[in-house]
A and B are shown apart, each in its own frame.
Chain A
Amino acid sequence: MTDENVLRVQGISKSFGGVTAVDNVSLAVKRGSITGLIGPNGSGKSTLFNLISGAEKKNPGGSIEFEGRAIDGLPPHRRSALGLGRTFQTPRLFTGMTVLENTMLAPRGQKGERPFVAPFRKRWEGQEIELAKKAQEQMTRLEIDKLYGKLTSEISGGQMKLAQLSTALMEDPKMLLLDEPTAGVAPRLAQDIFQSITDERQQKGTTFFIIEHRLEVLFKHVDTVFVMHQGRIIAEGRPESIVKDKKLIDAYLGS
């Protein structure tokens, strides 16, 4: 019964002092779907992602289940280890490292990440080359392969977004939370990003949960959309029906 939903959020809230950024939100995301999350600025979308990924602690009460397992007690890295990846709205890259190093860092279970295996190059080099090939494909698809040797502090904002996406995809997550993946990216590339997302879903069955303000692109690719307003989910449905929703137009698209 829980099988068709990979993520299930039940009545979670978050307040910052007097502000309730996320207000008793419940939602479920279908396995293998591309699900959108839209809403005006400050409606609590990023905060919701932070609660799901564990970057912020939710208020007591409510639950978050990933693949039928309660994850709200787990630290962020354990959630991510279960296959729940994410990106950040303002890209958080490792600025002292190159684009390639950022991308290569992501994969889980690297043998050379253990301190007493690391000194023996032979034991991890095979895996390293495999991962490098994968990274190269990934970066070529996102058109950042030429930046491989640049420090991420020295690339443009849009390129940072792409580098972050590339890093997140390298993790091979079961589900990926993307916070505005195309913000600050050129329109044609925005289309390409969503194309890569669709391809990725096709090939690996990855579930995507995407915050996006570029509705025209988003609506072309998503199966379901949640609309958030003042910390609450005020609508849910297929993109066609959402555009017609009067409430949403008042809250977000209109005026």
Chain B
Amino acid sequence: MLSGTAVGNICNVSAMLSRESIALAYPAISVSVWVIGLAFAMLAGGIMGLVVSYPALRVKEEWFLSMILLVGGETFRIVVTNTPQIGCGFNGLAGITTPFYWLSSYFPSGPLQAEVPTGLYAAVIVALALGCFVFAQKICNSPYGRLLKSIRDDKVAAESLAKDVSRVRKQIMVIGSVMAGLAGALYVYYIGVATPEDYIPALTFSIWVMMILGGFANNRGLLVGTFVITMLDRGSLVSGILLQSYLANLNPNLIVYGRYMVEAVILLLLLVFRQKGIFPETRIKTKAYTLFDFKKNNNAEPSNSPGEGPQTGGAASG
């Protein structure tokens, strides 16, 4: 009887509870479901990226692209919200546990019981994020990175050099979307619910701010940008809770709204006063420079290079 209802409706409370009890009892199922979940999320992300890239890369004006992407995201959100068959619609799917939830049965009840599985999972997320970062660094500091920058700078000129611009743009949309899919799945297993209302345009906006804060085409800058905005997010939550204990009638929503407003102001200030972000764009690091730098150093000629001078070699190897 239990299995009948649980299979019949995955959205109700009893299904949620049975998911949690299965996760607690069967570590192997728990971990493998997580792995399969991540794989499917990446696949789905990649397919979404590919589908959206079709219209997005065919439009004439540059800003149409941002609108198509906005339309794509909103379409997905509206479809998921209104289609209970996908992820239980507006209410979302709850009772998603971290892949290490079963560890809690090894601990006596207390803070450790909750914190160990979550902490371990957080460490896994950090490791995967690091993996993505290294991957991004590696493809940026390669001829492929050069190709990407050239397309950003001048599509027509890149085409005149036999570069298949639309193919590369499609590739990079898929790579980016796969990473975003991975991030979404990791996040959902962390917070325990998947609801479409978490993925509003304000989230995309936060990611833009992280990106521009760190500086265009600078992966390390992006880390800093992400750190700052995440600190703002978490910091605002914590300070909100602290403030509430002093100001009894403080409206907790104000903290969230205030954070969005601060992000908007940060972005505006950046655009007006420091468009390049905190850090300058990095040079593509391949061995090509070594030949020239060697010659320069031998002839002891005055430096022609801007800024801190070219960096060479395996700085990018992770």
Residues of A within 8 A of B (CB): 53-55, 75-78, 80-81, 85-86, 88, 92-98, 100-102, 104-106, 108, 110-115, 117-119, 121, 124-125, 128-129, 131-133, 135-136, 145-151, 154, 167, 171
A167 touches B161 (CB 8 A): yes
**Nearest-CB distance from A154 to chain B (Å)?**
7
| A contact residues around B301 at 8 Å (CB) | 146
| A contact residues around B61 at 8 Å (CB) | none
A100 touches B292 (CB 8 A): yes
| Cβ contact of A93, chosen from B154, B286, B309, cutoff 8 A | B154
Q: List 5 A-B contacts (CB under 8 A).
A: A94-B153, A97-B146, A118-B139, A121-B142, A146-B301
B contact residues, range: 35 or more
**Nearest-CB distance from A163 to chain B (Å)?**
12
A128 touches B143 (CB 8 A): yes
**Nearest-CB distance from B314 to chain A (Å)?**
8
A118 touches B164 (CB 8 A): no
A101 touches B305 (CB 8 A): no
With A101-B284, A132-B291 in contact, do A118 and B145 touch (Cβ < 8 Å)? yes
Q: A80-B159, A118-B144 are in contact. List 20 more A-B contacts (CB 8 A).
A: A53-B160, A76-B160, A77-B161, A77-B163, A80-B162, A85-B161, A92-B156, A93-B157, A94-B153, A100-B288, A105-B147, A119-B142, A124-B143, A128-B287, A128-B288, A132-B292, A136-B291, A149-B292, A149-B304, A171-B162
**What is the count of residue pairs linking A and B with beta-carbon distances less than 8 angstroms?**
158
| B contact residues around A112 at 8 Å (CB) | 142-144, 286
B74 lies within 8 A of chain A by Cβ: no
B116 lies within 8 A of chain A by Cβ: no
**Nearest-CB distance from A137 to chain B (Å)?**
10
- State A98–B149 Cα separation when bound (angstroms): 11
B317 lies within 8 A of chain A by Cβ: yes
B288 touches A135 (CB 8 A): yes
| A contact residues around B172 at 8 Å (CB) | 115
| A contact residues around B292 at 8 Å (CB) | 100, 132, 136, 145, 148-149
**Nearest-CB distance from B45 to chain A (Å)?**
16
| B contact residues around A125 at 8 Å (CB) | 286-287
**Nearest-CB distance from B254 to chain A (Å)?**
41
CB-based nearest B residue for A131: B288
| Cβ contact of B156, chosen from A55, A124, A146, cutoff 8 A | A55
Top-5 shortest CB links A-B: A149-B305, A112-B143, A118-B144, A80-B162, A132-B288
With A80-B161, A118-B143 in contact, do A96 and B149 touch (Cβ < 8 Å)? yes
| B contact residues around A75 at 8 Å (CB) | 159
With A88-B157, A96-B149, A149-B305 in contact, do A113 and B143 touch (Cβ < 8 Å)? yes
- State A111–B296 Cα separation when bound (angstroms): 28
- State A93–B292 Cα separation when bound (angstroms): 20
- State A23–B164 Cα separation when bound (angstroms): 30
With A96-B152, A97-B146 in contact, do A55 and B160 touch (Cβ < 8 Å)? yes
| Cβ contact of B150, chosen from A54, A97, A128, cutoff 8 A | A97
- State A88–B291 Cα separation when bound (angstroms): 29
**Nearest-CB distance from B58 to chain A (Å)?**
13
| A contact residues around B205 at 8 Å (CB) | none
B138 touches A121 (CB 8 A): yes
CB-based nearest B residue for A170: B161
| A contact residues around B310 at 8 Å (CB) | 98, 149
| B contact residues around A114 at 8 Å (CB) | 144
| A contact residues around B162 at 8 Å (CB) | 77-78, 80-81, 108, 171
| B contact residues around A76 at 8 Å (CB) | 156, 159-160
A118 touches B142 (CB 8 A): yes
- State A205–B253 Cα separation when bound (angstroms): 73
- State A132–B281 Cα separation when bound (angstroms): 22
Interface residues of B in 271-318 (CB under 8 A from A): 281, 283-284, 286-292, 295-296, 301, 303-306, 309-310, 314, 317
A110 touches B143 (CB 8 A): yes
The interface bits of chain B over 113-150 (1 if a CB of A lies within 8 angstroms of the residue's CB, else 0) are 00000000000000000000001001100111111011
